[in-house]
Amino acid sequence: AQKITQTQPGMFVQEKEAVTLDCTYDTSDPSYGLFWYKQPSSGEMIFLIYQGSYDQQNATEGRYSLNFQKARKSANLVISASQLGDSAMYFCAMREEGNTGGFKTIFGAGTRLFVKA
Amino acid sequence: KAGVTQTPRYLIKTRGQQVTLSCSPISGHRSVSWYQQTPGQGLQFLFEYFSETQRNKGNFPGRFSGRQFSNSRSEMNVSTLELGDSALYLCASSLVLGGQETQYFGPGTRLLVL
């Protein structure tokens, strides 16, 4: 069963505008963590933001904020004031406890963001 | 503070060979996870190590194995390589501090199996 769903394969945004990348998740574990990563064409995975399932407030990191709606099981990434350098693949991921007590991270299929000048 | 390092960065092997990839986590991070990224399957979890113990394993065949050393460095081994093992292999180290978790990835090893 798909646990992380990113419904937007590709998105375009005008430079300096805000953009929202969608992510929904599915878990029965009450304790989990949600991440967003950026992957430029170079291949490196860049950590952007983290939201714990018990966090009351939405996480923010500079121009990045996570719109966490627990009841809807959604964790959308909002990028404000888009820059050309934001063009990349963006992955939503969920870290949950595995069957043997450790943790595993499950990734969505990703959304490719194109920022237009 | 140095980031996560992975060696080698690029590797070309032939079918049937075996390969060992190395990952050095960020200093102080004790958890190391490995992922395989392919265009068709996306990012898939391989396994996670913590204090030299494998805590979790993804749905990969037994040809994929790993270990972690006392200094938290980790190695991943793939035996009897198949063409489908061609992928970007990413290692990540993580730390939980004050309820906030951070997980940082290395640059990856690009493996091509011919």
Residue ranges, chain B, pLDDT below 70: 1, 99
Q: Inspect the interface and report whether the beta carbons of A103 and B88 lie closer than 8 Å.
A: no
Q: Do A105 and B104 touch (CB under 8 A)?
A: no
Q: Which residues of A touch B88 (CB under 8 A)?
A: 43
Q: What is the pLDDT of residue A99?
A: 66
Three-state secondary structure string covering A35-94: EEEEECCCCCCEEEEEEECCCCCCCEECCEEEEEECCCCEEEEEECCCCHHHCEEEEEEE
Put simply, whether B33 touches A (Cβ < 8 Å) is yes
pLDDT along chain A (117 residues), means of 10: 87 97 93 93 90 91 96 96 97 83 85 96
- B48 and A103 within 8 Å at the Cβ level: the answer is yes
B38 Cβ under 8 Å from any chain A Cβ: no
pLDDT at B23: 97
Q: What is the pLDDT of residue A1?
A: 53
| Listed residue (A11, A77, A87) closest to A48, CA to CA | A77
What is the pLDDT at residue A72?
95
Rounded distance, CA B106 to CA B90, Å?
6
Least Cα separation, residue A5 to chain B (angstroms): 12
B43 has a chain A CB within 8 A of its CB:
yes
B-chain residues near A106 (CB < 8 A): 45
Question: Residue A37: its pLDDT value, please?
Answer: 96
Q: Note the pLDDT of residue B95.
A: 82
For residue A108, the model assigns a pLDDT of: 95
**Cβ of residue B55 closer than 8 Å to a chain A Cβ:** yes
In this structure, what token pair is assigned to residue B39?
């265009």
